[in-house]
Chain A
Amino acid sequence: ILNVEQSPQSLHVQEGDSTNFTCSFPSSNFYALHWYRWETAKSPEALFVMTLNGDEKKKGRISATLNTKEGYSYLYIKGSQPEDSATYLCASLNQAGTALIFGKGTTLSVSS
């Protein structure tokens, strides 16, 4: 059974702080790793899809890296802003490559 773990479960930072969270996934039969941002009362929205070992993606102040050999991905937020407050989900494709298996998420709260 594919198990995706995220840490920490929650995080509280001050405006302007940089932060990062971890997603761990089985390295065998890896297809792709997805990151989603889920704001309260909204739907999850796709941030990044990563497939290659060593991949690095960036969108504004948010970036992500991927290590498929050791089975982890980091999401970084530089200079956190209150609008970055959300739950960040990572997901790995199941072994058949047909559906995403999600971690429980890291909930980020940014205070101004």
Chain B
Amino acid sequence: DSGVTQTPKHLITATGQRVTLRCSPRSGDLSVYWYQQSLDQGLQFLIHYYNGEERAKGNILERFSAQQFPDLHSELNLSSLELGDSALYFCASSDSSTLEFYGYTFGSGTRLTVV
């Protein structure tokens, strides 16, 4: 157990629907990062939150949004789902002030399948 908890582990939903993925960071970590891994693609950076505030945005679609709550857990909302959104979504946490010295701790991922 890495200390980063992601739920659910698997999700199957239909096109056009909306889903919410949840991540609880490792104790003491203030930063949460979301990544998407599609077939034949590397880990694509979506968004970074630090202590409740958005710090950086990557290749995140307008149909996707995220937030980090006061208890530091984060949710990634995916709406108007398309077949191409099927992917493995990872959450990672860190003490972001030390990304130059320490790496991420990854959760186990949520496998989203859009049918």
Contact = CB atoms under 8 A, between A and B. Distances in A.
Which of A51, A94, A97, A100: most chain B CB closer than 10 A?
A100
A99 B45 contact: yes
B109 A43 contact: yes
Which size bracket describes the interface of A in this complex? 20 to 34
Interface in A65-98: 89, 91, 93-94, 96-98
Given A43-B106, A43-B107, A99-B56, A49 B2 contact: no
A45 interface: yes
Dominant SS among interface residues on chain B: loop
Contact of A98 (B42, B56, B106): B56
Nearest to A36: B103
Interface residues of B, number: 26
A34 B101 contact: no
A43 B99 contact: no
- Identify whether the interface residues of A are mostly helix, strand, loop, or mixed: loop
B64 interface: no
A100 B101 CA distance: 13
Contact of A89 (B33, B43, B55, B107): B43
Contacts, number: 70
Given A89-B43, A102-B42, A104-B41, A97 B99 contact: yes
B90 A98 contact: no
B58 interface: yes
Contacts of A31: 99-100
Interface in B1-22: 2, 4
Closest CB pairs A-B (n = 9): A46-B103, A104-B42, A43-B106, A102-B43, A98-B56, A32-B100, A99-B48, A99-B56, A102-B42
19 contacts: A32-B100, A34-B103, A36-B104, A42-B108, A43-B4, A43-B90, A43-B107, A46-B104, A49-B100, A89-B42, A93-B99, A98-B56, A99-B45, A101-B58, A102-B35, A102-B43, A102-B45, A103-B42, A104-B42
